Amino acid sequence: MSHPIYIGGHWREGRGDVIVSRFPADDSINAELRAASLEDVEDAVTAADAAWRDPGWAQRLPHQRAEVLYRVSDLIMQQLDTLSRLQTRDNGKPLSETRALVASAAGTARYMAAACETLEGELPTRRSAEFMTFSEYEPLGVIAAITPWNSPIASDMQKVAPALAGGNAVVLKPAEATPLMALKLAELFEQAGLPKGLLSVLPGRGSVIGDALVRHPKVRKISFTGGTSTGRHLAHIAADKLIGTSLELGGKSPTIVCKSADVEQAVRGIAYGIFSSGGQACIAGSRLFIHERQYNAVMARLLEVTSGLRVGHPETDGVHIGPLINTAHRDSVSAYVDQARQEGGKVLIGGQAPDDPDLAGGSYYLPTIIEGLPANSQVCREEIFGPVLVALKYKDEADLIRQANDSVYGLAAGIWTQDYRQALTLARQLEAGTIWINTYKKFAISTPFGGFKESGLGREKGRQGIQAYMQQKSIYLGLDSTPMGWSQ
Ligand code: NAD
């Protein structure tokens, strides 16, 4: 019996192709399941459209909708260990990372519940003695949420929680490689008492199931996290349908070491920023800029720190870097490193799979640092989504800003300096949606997140995170009792 999927509040076998969830550490099978079919998409969207309009949900006040999210948050924290282990099986991240991701999903549900309870409409300043106006937020309807494989429960919750808090229904399509966490999340929402139909989870191929979902006439918003080319494709579909999108896309983020940086702090932050999650993070700090006078000293220490990182089984305590999601992805990372060698880059460390026989069955790749590449090389420009860092030099601030901003992406940037005046000057010039100063890859759900340029459209998180799933309705209230219109 294959693992059931969740359609319109019912657990049943999908009617699509068989997909297999594998443990990237040894390629063993976690679960086999029948993916959703086009008929399943139709059933899920039809159920979702009925569910958000159902008076049982539509008439719930915001604080009553919030109750479901508070309960989900509690359930997640009660099952933190089991869920972290499941996520580690699903995508191979070390347990220390998946624990943090699972806890962050609980925090997102709690924050969005609180934000929902306190979401206020607007009472604009009056412009006439004849009437007053106010604006309220209403749900959009059915939301198509599409997520990638690198942080399943966190990115799923980042969409599902604000969308449900805003009174919508959600059809979630997780990545093919990682269907299990999204299905588990559906189980938790069901236990928390979410009315049937408000959430469906449809594992399946993006180009088939994802495509049919976003094109469905009843879908009123696309909320997507994934690669830039997929995001662009979805934006075209949304434009045809005249619906909104929220696009969290790729990155090639610069991290900058200034002359006054605390080198030890910077080097550890740089290593964490690129090598945690095996570099499979949209915000990975994959381009390192070091002032030319400090270059040798910073690189020497960075190489020492990198050589001390432990690559290994993701369920073993103390492991820093687990396997990549699968061997096809490792091949793609490895091809980029070969390309760097051809482009004149020098691989200073890594640049291959580990030779430890215990790791031979998994899709591991060593943390890799490359120098000597021209800034316009393919490896400096394209998102590799693996543990590969390119190191570059800069002469002065103008040279730094020119190089750092010379990218189609603009997701994040890191600055290491003890001079806060300089930090703020740089931060204001960098074209990125998130700037970390003397820290990196840290998140607060209260703080808006999203990309500049081809890294995305719209913002997730923060109090505005719910409004992204709502539309304003303005109401004019006449106050003048004399008949209006032309005098006759
Ligand atoms: P991807 O774009 O290949 O797939 C993401 C999701 O989109 C998957 O569920 C996939 O099945 C679906 N999909 C693919 N083609 C589709 C189509 N034609 N129609 C509808 N759905 C489709 O990305 P990926 O390889 O899973 O993830 C890695 C990418 O995600 C990287 O580029 C990374 O930077 C990005 N990412 C961005 C953020 C962010 O917040 N900015 C966070 C995590 C990952």
CA angle 317, 318, 324 (to 5 degrees): 90
Q: Where are the alpha helices (DSSP H) in 308-449?
A: 327-342, 378-381, 397-405, 420-429
What is the best residue among 108, 146, 147 to mutate for testing ligand 1's pocket, by most ligand atoms within 8 Å of CB?
146
CA angle 461, 467, 473 (to 5 degrees): 175
Answer yes or no: CATH 3.40.605.10 is held by domain 5-249+455-474.
Answer: yes
Q: How far is residue 22's CA from residue 380's CA, in Å, rounded to a whole number?
A: 31
Predicted pLDDT at 484: 85
134 three-state secondary structure: strand
459 three-state secondary structure: coil
> One of 116, 282, 380, 441 is an active-site residue; which one?
282
Report whether 133 contacts 477 (CB < 8 A): yes
CA separation (Å) from 90 to 16, 477, 479? Answer: 20, 54, 60
What is the best residue among 173, 178, 282 to mutate for testing ligand 1's pocket, by most ligand atoms within 8 Å of CB?
282
Q: Which of 382, 158, 169 is nearest to 287 (CA)?
A: 382
List the residue whose alpha carbon is closest to atom 18 of ligand 1.
207
CA separation (Å) from 247 to 220, 230, 458? Answer: 15, 10, 6
Output the CA torsion sign for 290, 294, 295, 297: negative
- Cβ-based neighbours of 482, under 8 Å, separated by 6 or more: none
The conformation of residue 376, written as its DSSP 8-state character, comes to T
Predicted pLDDT at 419: 97
Atom of ligand 1 nearest to the CA of 228: 32
Q: Where are the alpha helices (DSSP H) in 79-167?
A: 80-91, 95-117, 152-165
147 three-state secondary structure: coil
List the residue whose alpha carbon is closest to atom 42 of ligand 1.
282
Q: E-assigned strands of 292-421?
A: 346-349, 368-371, 388-394, 409-410, 412-416
Atom of ligand 1 nearest to the CA of 455: 41
What is the best residue among 230, 329, 434, 455 to mutate for testing ligand 1's pocket, by most ligand atoms within 8 Å of CB?
230
176 is catalytic: no
What is the best residue among 150, 276, 407 to mutate for testing ligand 1's pocket, by most ligand atoms within 8 Å of CB?
150
375 CB-side CA count, 13 A: 16
97 is catalytic: no
Question: Which two tokens mark 318?
Answer: 């103390």
List the residue whose alpha carbon is closest to atom 14 of ligand 1.
206
- Cβ-based neighbours of 423, under 8 Å, separated by 6 or more: 258, 415, 417, 437, 438
Question: Which two tokens mark 479?
Answer: 């106050």
CA separation (Å) from 44 to 47, 125, 241, 447? Answer: 5, 43, 19, 32
264 is catalytic: no
- CA 302 to centroid of ligand 1, rounded, Å: 31
> One of 93, 97, 176, 248 is an active-site residue; which one?
248
Strands 254-257, 412-416: pairing kind:
parallel
Question: Which two tokens mark 257?
Answer: 């070491």
Which residues does ligand 1 sit against, CB inside 6 Å? 146-150, 155, 173, 175-176, 206-207, 210-211, 214, 225-227, 230, 233-234, 248-251, 282, 383, 385, 411, 451, 456
Structural fold of domain 254-437: Aldehyde Dehydrogenase; Chain A, domain 2 (3.40.309)
All structural domains of the chain with their residue ranges = 5-249+455-474, 254-437
Residues of the chain with pLDDT under 50: none
Report whether 256 contacts 415 (CB < 8 A): yes
List the residue whose alpha carbon is closest to atom 3 of ligand 1.
227
> Which conformational region is residue 108 in: left (phi greater than 0), alpha (psi within -120 to 50 degrees), or beta?
alpha
- CA 286 to centroid of ligand 1, rounded, Å: 19
Predicted pLDDT at 348: 98
156 three-state secondary structure: helix
List the residue whose alpha carbon is closest to atom 31 of ligand 1.
227
Predicted pLDDT at 90: 93
Q: How far is residue 209's CA from residue 60's CA, in Å, rounded to a whole number?
A: 31
List the residue whose alpha carbon is closest to atom 11 of ligand 1.
206
